[in-house]
Homo-oligomer: A and B are copies of this chain.
Amino acid sequence: MGEPERIGVVGLGGWGIALAVHLHRKGHTVSVWGHPTAGVDAVAKARASDRFLPGVQIPAGIAIGGTGSVLAGAGLLVLAVPTQHIRGVLLSLASDWPAGVPVVSVAKGIELETGLAPTGIVRAARGDAPLAVLSGPSHAEEVARGLPASLVTASSDAALAKRVQGAFMDERFRVYTSADVTGVELGGALKNVIAIAAGICDGLKLGDNAKAALLTRGLVEMTRYAAAAGADPRTLYGLAGLGDILTTSYSPHGRNLAVGRRIGAGERLDAVLRGMAQVAEGVWTAKAVRDAARSRSVDMPITDAVCAILFDGKAPAAAVRELMTRAARDEI
């Protein structure tokens, strides 16, 4: 399952740390670059991040640094920064970035200003890097603790997908390969919007039947959007779409779910975001997807409802009632 290699992780958030711990456990030589706002010096000293992944010890063998030099010599780079910060991080690390080294993106979002997914941002900034994505149901807390998870890695370069699979996979961390980069990447981004909707449903106390129906219709909507962007619909019904929706919408760890729950219970978006230590990608993805869907004439009723609630002050109960009372029709 893959020879030990030097792997650089870009990003010291919960997922970056969890993957670094996992890759180190597998025998790779791992280094992590962290932004000053992630408290890189304090984390390097404490060997733990109370803010992003409390209770997880970072082994002494993992190098942690705040300058690009910590990535020197890496044969594989794992990009684990929030989507809206990717462009800035790539710019600030430009001179230290190891040229031509494959990049595995694990970010799950859409850049607000451009509508680009993470690999699109990397391609624009670092046209030389071979690209892969790794996504699926994988809350950082559980992966760091060594609980089982199953993910998908996709690349247009089948050999790179195989290499990523070999580098990450062990008996507790199962990795499938795929050629559908667009599907895997959009699955991870779009599910955050649906998870916010699921949280709103929870906050309104609508029950398990309504939440299940919402998620089912949400997946239909995600698939419609991704297919219009060139994805294989089956990818969305796999681990990177459906699988990830489930963890995000039912696990107490879910940040986007938590945002939705507070909104559904009557709080306002600015108040909710002010108190959060970590980024809820879905808030910005919702806006980016709504705009892109409009320009492509793709029907996204749940995403539209989430945006109306988050950004236009629409009452959650009224928005849900409108979704529930659309005209009676055939399911497919």
Contacts and interface: CB of A to CB of B under 8 A. Distances in A.
A208 B251 contact: yes
B208 A142 contact: yes
Contacts of A242: 215-216, 219, 242
Interface in A118-166: 136-139, 142-143, 145, 147-150, 152, 165
User: What size tier do the contact residues of chain A reach?
Assistant: 35 or more
Contact of A209 (B137, B175, B207, B330): B137
A325 interface: yes
Nearest to A321: B171
Interface stretch (A83-91, A229-237, A291-299): A229-237
A213 B137 CA distance: 7
A247 interface: yes
B332 A206 contact: no
A51 interface: no
Interface in A233-253: 234-235, 237-239, 242-244, 246-247, 250-251, 253
Contacts of A178: 330-332
A138 B232 CA distance: 30
B331 A152 contact: yes
Given A150-B217, A208-B247, A213-B243, 20 more contacts: A136-B213, A137-B216, A138-B209, A142-B209, A145-B207, A149-B209, A150-B209, A150-B213, A171-B325, A174-B325, A176-B329, A177-B328, A177-B329, A212-B243, A212-B246, A212-B247, A216-B239, A216-B246, A238-B332, A242-B242
Interface of A: 1, 136-139, 142-143, 145, 147-150, 152, 165, 169, 171-172, 174-178, 206-213, 215-217, 219-220, 232, 234-235, 237-239, 242-244, 246-247, 250-251, 253, 320-321, 324-325, 328-332
Kindly list the 5 A-B residue pairs having the minimum CB-CB distance in the complex, ordered from nearest. A150-B213, A137-B212, A212-B246, A176-B331, A208-B251
